[in-house]
Every structure is written in structure tokens, then in C-alpha cells.
A and B are shown apart, each in its own frame.
Chain A
Amino acid sequence: QQPVQSPQAVILREGEDAVINCSSSKALYSVHWYRQKHGEAPVFLMILLKGGEQKGHDKISASFNEKKQQSSLYLTASQLSYSGTYFCGTEGGAGSYQLTFGKGTKLSVIP
């Protein structure tokens, strides 16, 4: 089952914050977050494992609530370089070897 991402698109001015959500209808073992710029391959951001952890580096962080089967990606003080499409990928079980991606959230940061 494909996870649902929201919003589908968001426009920010430099310095503003954004939250991207990823929800699944089934139990999750891990959530992966990727960013993809137009015409390029997806680039890994972070993985969150079962256990309700929160991770972050620089001004991008994420949380994973396994009970709610949700993950959120937080982008603070956005920069022009943050523009792109963000995908969450979910894994239903340890060792499942199959990552199911959401349809993506297009983020545009303008000056």
C-alpha cells in the first residue's frame, strides 16, 4: 500500500519553515526520506526506524510515530537549495527488502 504524502506541493520564501507528512495504512518498520531535483536521481536524506525516533541534521529533521504509522519531515529556515520533490519510502517489516514510495511533495523555495 502506497503511503500518502501531504501536502502535494508547497511554496516557501527563503527562511520559512515547512512540514511534510507521510502516512501509511499499515504497520511500518522504517521510513526513508529522499529529495529529488528535476532530472536527477533521488538523494538519501535519512532513515527512521521503528521505535519512535527523531533524527536531524543541519536544518532538516524528521520524526516517526509508529503507533500512528506516520512520519513527518521538518525543514526549518528553508534555503533555495531545498527546492525539489521529497519522497517518503516505507518498509513494512525488517528484512522485507521492499520500499514503497509515496507520490512525493514538490517544494519550491523562492527568494
Chain B
Amino acid sequence: NAGVTQTPKFQVLKTGQSMTLQCAQDMNHEYMSWYRQDPGMGLRLIHYSVGAGITDQGEVPNGYNVSRSTTEDFPLRLLSAAPSQTSVYFCASSRTGKSGNTIYFGEGSWLTVV
């Protein structure tokens, strides 16, 4: 059971470039989300989805787009990368996202924007 799989694990981008971080889960979870983690800041929610075709913004959505065409996949798109988007990105999923449901994290994607 692979759980939550993120790719790529490491990426270096130039300012202004766009890219997509891929996230896939094989647990048939309804709820998926993207967090970014910066030193001393904890995890901050970027976007989340409660099911295929439904997405919503989290705490820090600017500069990012998401879509959820299938239950399994939840890609995160950086539209025009900026140095402030240098961070570690974690994709997560849970059965419903509601209280009492464990959130499972992917292994993370380390992104550097130069």
C-alpha cells in the first residue's frame, strides 16, 4: 500500500517558471490537501479538496492553483515561481477530513526557487 505519493522529491526552479507538484493517494480518501512548511513556521494549509471536482483555499493560497479531477490525484501548480515559494511541500489525505480522521502525509517535495 503506497499511501500518499508525491513527485518530484527535489526541484530547483528559476524565478518565473511554472511547475506542477504531483500527489496521488491509493486509499480512496475523499479529503486531500497541500501544506507548505517553512523553518519555524509549522505547516500552513495552501489548498484543500473534499472530493473530486471540489477545491477550496487554505491559509496561504496565493501563487498556487489546484484541481481535483479524480479521487486519487491532487496536483499543485505554481503559476510563476517566486523565491518566497522556496519551501517543503506536503500533500496529505484523510478519509473525510472531519474530526476523528487521521491525516496521512506524503514524504514531501523540496522546492528551491532561484
Q: Report which A residues bind B (CB closer than 8 A).
A: 2, 29-30, 32, 40-44, 47, 49-50, 87, 89, 91, 94-95, 97-104
* A54 smallest CB distance to B (angstroms): 16
Is A95 in contact with B42, judged by CB distance below 8 angstroms?
Answer: no
Is A47 in contact with B90, judged by CB distance below 8 angstroms?
Answer: no
Q: With A and B bound together, what is the CA distance between A103 and B50 in angstroms?
A: 25
Write out the residue numbers on chain B whose beta carbons fall within 8 Å of the beta carbon of A29: 99
A-B pairs, 4 with minimum CB distance: A41-B105, A101-B42, A101-B43, A30-B99
Given contacts A30-B99, A40-B107, A98-B45, 14 further A-B contacts (CB under 8 A): A32-B103, A42-B90, A42-B105, A44-B104, A87-B42, A89-B43, A91-B99, A94-B99, A98-B48, A99-B103, A101-B43, A103-B42, A104-B40, A104-B42
Q: Give the interface residue-count category, chain B.
A: 20 to 34
Write out the residue numbers on chain A whose beta carbons fall within 8 Å of the beta carbon of B44: 101
Chain B 48-59: CB-based contact to A (< 8 A → 1; otherwise 0): 101000001011
Write out the residue numbers on chain B whose beta carbons fall within 8 Å of the beta carbon of A98: 45, 48, 58-59
Write out the residue numbers on chain B whose beta carbons fall within 8 Å of the beta carbon of A100: 45, 59
Q: With A and B bound together, what is the CA distance between A102 and B103 in angstroms?
A: 16
Is B100 in contact with A44, judged by CB distance below 8 angstroms?
Answer: no
Interface SS of chain A: loop
Write out the residue numbers on chain B whose beta carbons fall within 8 Å of the beta carbon of A44: 102-104
* A27 smallest CB distance to B (angstroms): 13
* B68 smallest CB distance to A (angstroms): 13
Residues 81 to 114 of chain B near chain A (Cβ within 8 Å)? 90, 97-108
